[in-house]
Structure formats: C-alpha cells, structure tokens
Amino acid sequence: MRWEVGSALNIVSILLVVVVIAAMLIWVERRLLGIWQERLGPNRVGPLGLLQVVADMLKIFTKEDWTPPFADKFSFILAPAIIMTVVLMSFSVIPFAPGVGIIDSNIGVLFVLAMASLGAYSVMLGGLSSDNKYALLGSLRAAAQMVSYEVFMGISLLGIVALTGSFNLREIVQAQADGWYVFPQIIGFIIFLIAGVAESHRLPFDIPEAEQEICAGYHTEYSGMKFGMFFVGEYLGLVLISSLITALFFGGWLGPGFLPPIFWFALKASFFVAFFILMRAAIPRPRYDQLMRYGWLFLLPLSLVNLLVTGAVILAGSGG
C-alpha cells in the first residue's frame, strides 16, 4: 500500500488520527483553559495528565446509557450518529498533504458546506426528539443559528473560489504557492472564522447549548456514549474548521521545506485550534438576538461586498 489519495491505508489512518486528536482535545482544551485562567488544568492522570482522556472515556463508556421513555427513540438515537458521520465525512475532502487525503473532489468546498448543513439536522433532531423544553429551546436556537451562519459561511468562501477558479480544495491549496489567501481575502477570513465558530457552536457562539441559560440545550437528555458522540463531534467540528481555515486561507501544507508538508498542516491547524480555545476562554457569549442581528445585518452585507470587490478586482486584473 502506498500513500496516495484514497488508498485504504490513507482512509484508515486519517480516520484514526482525526478521532484520536478530537479525543485528545478534551485534555488539550481543559489544560489550555486552565493555563489561561491561571490554573493548571487536569495534570494528575498519567504524565502531564495525558491519560485524562482515557479516564474520561472509561467514565463515559461505563455510564448508564439512558433513553428517556418520553423521547422519540428513533431520532433520539439517530441524532448523535448524524453529527459524527457528517463531520467525519467532511474530513474526506480535506487535503492534509500531497498524497494524504481521502477524496480529491472537484466540489470539495461545496461538499463541506453541504455536510455542515446536514449537521444542523443532528442538533435539531436531538432537541426535538428529547421532548424536553430546554432541549427544544436549544434546538430552535441551533437551527436558526446554523441556517443563518451557513449563508455567509458559503458566501465568504466564494471569493477564494473565484480567485482559484475551482472548488477543489487541493487546487485551492496549490494556488496559494505564491501568497496565502488570507491577505487578499482578509474579510472573507474573518467572516469564515466567525461563521465557523457559530457552525460548530463553540463558545462564544454556543447559544444552542448555553449551560447557564438552558441546561445543556439540545443534548440535555443525552447520557453515556450518545452524549460522548455529541461531545467528540463538537471537537471534531473544531478540528474540521481549523483544517479548513488552514487549507483555504493559510496555504494548507505549503511551507518552508525543512519540515514535511503534513507537519506544516498540523502546525497551522493546531494554531487555530488553540485560537478557538482562547476565544472560549476570553469572550463572553452574546445574546441570542444580538447573534442573529449581527449575522444578518452586518456579516451578510460584508460578505457580499467582499465577494463583489473580489469579483471586480479579478475582472479588472484580467483586463475584461
């Protein structure tokens, strides 16, 4: 077996590495949050507390997996599976390095956006089927938030697509050989960053699950491994958004030759993972209506303007 896009070795190792990294993020996030809050974070299980993940996993696997009798069983069980599936599916188009990846798709960007839309079903079904007021509120918020932030998440990427002339993530990375897209597309980058946080409903946009307001939102009724899947799904989403930002705006695997390409990718992606965790540590959650107004009245026009200006510049550059 060789390292080429789509080989079985590739699929298995990407799947394993991505899931293990998402699980390790449980520890990374808690350590980093601790460090930024002048604490230490979990450091007692194993060296540096690295085995905390194992302990957490053991705990979550041995917990009672309870399905409430009033819940709608089928969709209740389906919901956590959807989020894991769609996020893992999205990873299939991410170009990690030359030869490392699962599909070399011509519609990579669209595929990721489509999967992100499907992810909304997970939180909606999870909240609806729980038959719980808090869960319902959470899923209402989630549905509105994800649907509206998806709009300009897509539009913010169109600038890049126009610059590259392709939806293929690999070609987008290769097109950045002489300049990362973050410079011409700085507005697109900021919008994508914000929309990405909102899509993966991480703090500060974790309004669908805001503990202090509505318990745990859409996963209030979940326990055991079903909750674990939502939990890991959220971290997978975090890795996914960081990888996407790396690939779309920061030149993916491109970097000085003294490190192998995959390291550059990992380095850039982990920077963004850490940045998202810093955002969680620092920024308070906006009110729900603030989030919506901010999205529709500010980010949407801004992303449209960005797209128009990009188009005009391309047109002027091509002498048309």
Partner 1 sequence: MFSLIRDTFTSQLVTLWRVFKHMFDKKDTVEYPDVQPYMFPRWRGRIILSRDPDGEERCVACNLCAVACPVDCIALQKAEDENGRWYPEFFRINFSRCIMCGFCEEACPTNAIQLTPDFEMAEYVRQDMVWEKEDLLINGTGKYHDYNFYRVAGMAVGGKDKGEAQNEAPPVDVRSLLP
Residues that bind partner 1 (CB under 8 A): 34-40, 278-279, 281-283, 298
Shortest approach of partner 1 to residue 283 CB, angstroms? 6
Checking 21-28 for CB contacts under 8 A at 24+ apart, the result is 21/239, 22/232, 22/235, 22/236, 22/238, 22/239, 23/53, 23/57, 23/232, 23/235, 24/53, 25/235, 25/238, 25/239, 25/273, 26/52, 26/53, 26/56, 26/231, 26/235, 27/52, 27/53, 28/273, 28/277
Shortest approach of partner 1 to residue 284 CB, angstroms? 9
Which of residues 165 and 301 has its CB atom nearest to partner 1 in the complex? 301
Give the pair of three-digit tokens for residue 187: 């507005």
Dihedral sign of CA atoms 7, 241, 108, 247 in order: negative
Distance CA 189, CA 187 (A): 5
Shortest approach of partner 1 to residue 112 CB, angstroms? 26
Which of residues 43 and 174 has its CB atom nearest to partner 1 in the complex? 43
Shortest approach of partner 1 to residue 39 CB, angstroms? 5
* Residue type for position 43: N
Which of residues 51 and 190 has its CB atom nearest to partner 1 in the complex? 190
Shortest approach of partner 1 to residue 38 CB, angstroms? 5
Distance CA 58, CA 48 (A): 18
Shortest approach of partner 1 to residue 279 CB, angstroms? 7
Q: Which residues pair with 100 in a beta bridge?
A: 97
Distance CA 60, CA 52 (A): 12
SS (H, E, C) 59-85: HHHHCCCCCCCCCCHHHHHHHHHHHHH
Which of residues 132 and 156 has its CB atom nearest to partner 1 in the complex? 156
Which of residues 55 and 175 has its CB atom nearest to partner 1 in the complex? 55
Which of residues 12 and 35 has its CB atom nearest to partner 1 in the complex? 35
